Amino acid sequence: MKNEKIHFTGWSKIRLFDIINIKNVHTARHLDNKEQIIIKKLAHNKEFENVDDKICKDANRPKGCDVARVLHIINTGDEIRRQSLLPKHLEKMNQMFACPTYSSIDRILSYYKERLSPGRSMLNTRDKLQIYATSLINAEPLMLQTFPAEEGWPFPKYYGVCGRYIAVSHAGEPLHNFFSEPFHKRADIAYQIMKIADKLKNEGNQFVFYWTDLSLENLVVDSAGKVTVVDLEDIIVVDRDAIARAKPRKDWYEVHQSSFVHCYRRNCFRFSRDDLCTHVNSDHNYYAACRIIISEYVNEQSLGLMRGLLHDMPNYANDDWDLQHLLHECVHGSTPESRMKVKTQLTQALFNLRNIRDSNDAAKRKR
């Protein structure tokens, strides 16, 4: 940006747009590789102000102090300098750190891109203080770096940071723009969402991720139909290995089951951070995908959408694949672990339905 290699595009070129741009998201293009990118502001001005006040107070400085100058002298910094960055410094600061562990912090430190000395393998105290300050504002840059798209995570590519803005790849248009697509295309999108829920569950690996603020605007679809998760601010990261070692509750090894909640005239679902942080497994992501995105329970009045992604199902979807029943069971989870069982059937049904263009095609396939 300093070398003017990034140019804003569309409405983002107009400075006045900032006043009405409540999402704090700008479109731009990189002049060297011609790629479209997104410039995201990490918080609203009032949120920045609150964080700045907290840092100034921690440094025994008055409100409005130069945060960049005093960050290295905050009282918390003395502890980080003596003890390194520990779970207690980040715990419950945001959803990413709902239940941080030494292993999760080690991974953050090893993947961190904004280190002062890029050639060094070890981060210095200033780097760790910067991670601490970033987590105070918004953990999304840390999520994007620690679990990068280059390693197969369904997130945008992270390019870097400029002040309190980050640059990421332009991964597509909001999901709600695709609710009028033909059914087979919507079935393909739903299939991908269920596969993303699987990916975040990260079966057999150390870290698992849980959606806590899933919405139609947090998922985008590109021109090739690929789905990407673009809002990582409210994803809980859970360390399975740490749970297995600590055994924090009697049923830690059992599959935690999210409970259906009916919210009158609005889209919502409940979750317990404590439950997610003390079980090695949960059906929460499948519940979130079905309850908030795919099923008939979707209620996004602000977007004019009162039905789910798979609305207006063709008859063959139910006759051949029992789709309505599978969605109902995915949402309600009527018996223990039933959601975990039905998600496989649902994903398979969506896989097949995405290849059926219309009812005539379905009839041919049956013959």
For 69-119, how does the pLDDT look when each residue is reduced to its tens digit (9 = 90+)?
999 899 998 999 999 999 999 999 999 999 999 999 999 999 999 888 776
pLDDT for 361 equals 46
**Boundary (domain end) residue, out of 134, 169, 204:** 169
Position 11 in a domain: yes
Whether residues 144 and 183 fall in one domain:
no
Q: What are phi and psi of 292, to 5 degrees?
A: -100, -25
| 204-218 per-residue burial string, b: 16 or more CB within 10 A, e: under 16 | eeebbbbbbebbbeb
205: nearest Cα among 145, 152, 142: 152
pLDDT for 263 equals 72
Whether residues 163 and 180 fall in one domain:
no
For the chain, what is the domain count?
2
- pLDDT-derived band at 366 (thresholds 50, 70, 90) equals very low
189: nearest Cα among 157, 150, 228: 228
Whether residues 180 and 160 fall in one domain:
no
pTM of the full structure: 0.90
- Name the amino acid, one letter, at 335: T
Whether residues 141 and 178 fall in one domain:
no
- Which tokens go with 180? 């009028």
**Boundary (domain end) residue, out of 169, 202, 228:** 169
Instruction: Detail the DSSP E strand segments found in 112-240.
Output: 158-162, 165-169, 173-174, 207-211, 219-221, 227-229, 235-239
Whether residues 230 and 94 fall in one domain:
no
- Can you spell out the DSSP letters for 177-203? GGTTS-HHHHHHHHHHHHHHHHHHHTT
Segment 198-226 mean pLDDT: 94
- pLDDT-derived band at 364 (thresholds 50, 70, 90) equals very low
Whether residues 220 and 298 fall in one domain:
yes
- Which tokens go with 157? 């590519």
* Bridge partners (DSSP) listed for residue 88: none
pLDDT for 19 equals 47
pLDDT for 237 equals 98
Position 293 in a domain: yes
Segment 238-262 mean pLDDT: 94
CATH value at residue 320 = 1.10.510
Whether residues 280 and 163 fall in one domain:
no
Whether residues 108 and 198 fall in one domain:
no
Whether residues 226 and 337 fall in one domain:
yes
177: nearest Cα among 232, 213, 223: 223
CA 150, CA 322: separation in Å to the nearest integer? Answer: 37
Position 1 in a domain: no
Position 154 in a domain: yes
Segment 47-72 mean pLDDT: 94
pLDDT for 365 equals 44
pLDDT for 117 equals 78
User: Is pLDDT at 324 greater than 90 in this prediction?
Assistant: yes
| CA 169 and chain centroid, separation | 15
Identify the residue with better confidence: 162 or 312.
312
- Can you spell out the DSSP letters for 36-68? EEEEEESS-HHHHHHHHHHHHHHTT--TT--HH
CA 211, CA 232: separation in Å to the nearest integer? Answer: 9
- pLDDT-derived band at 242 (thresholds 50, 70, 90) equals very high
pLDDT for 170 equals 94
Helix axes 125-137, 75-83, angle to 10 degrees: 130
CA 132, CA 97: separation in Å to the nearest integer? Answer: 11
**Boundary (domain end) residue, out of 169, 204, 233:** 169
| C-beta of residue 29 within 8 angstroms of C-beta of residue 9 | yes
Position 208 in a domain: yes
Distances (CA, A) of 151 to 62, 99, 328: 43, 23, 34
- pLDDT-derived band at 166 (thresholds 50, 70, 90) equals very high
What 8-state DSSP symbol labels residue 72?
G
Full domain range(s) for residue 51: 6-169
For the ranges 140-154, 295-309, 319-333, 340-354, the lowest mean pLDDT is seen at: 295-309
Whether residues 272 and 355 fall in one domain:
yes
CA 7, CA 27: separation in Å to the nearest integer? Answer: 9
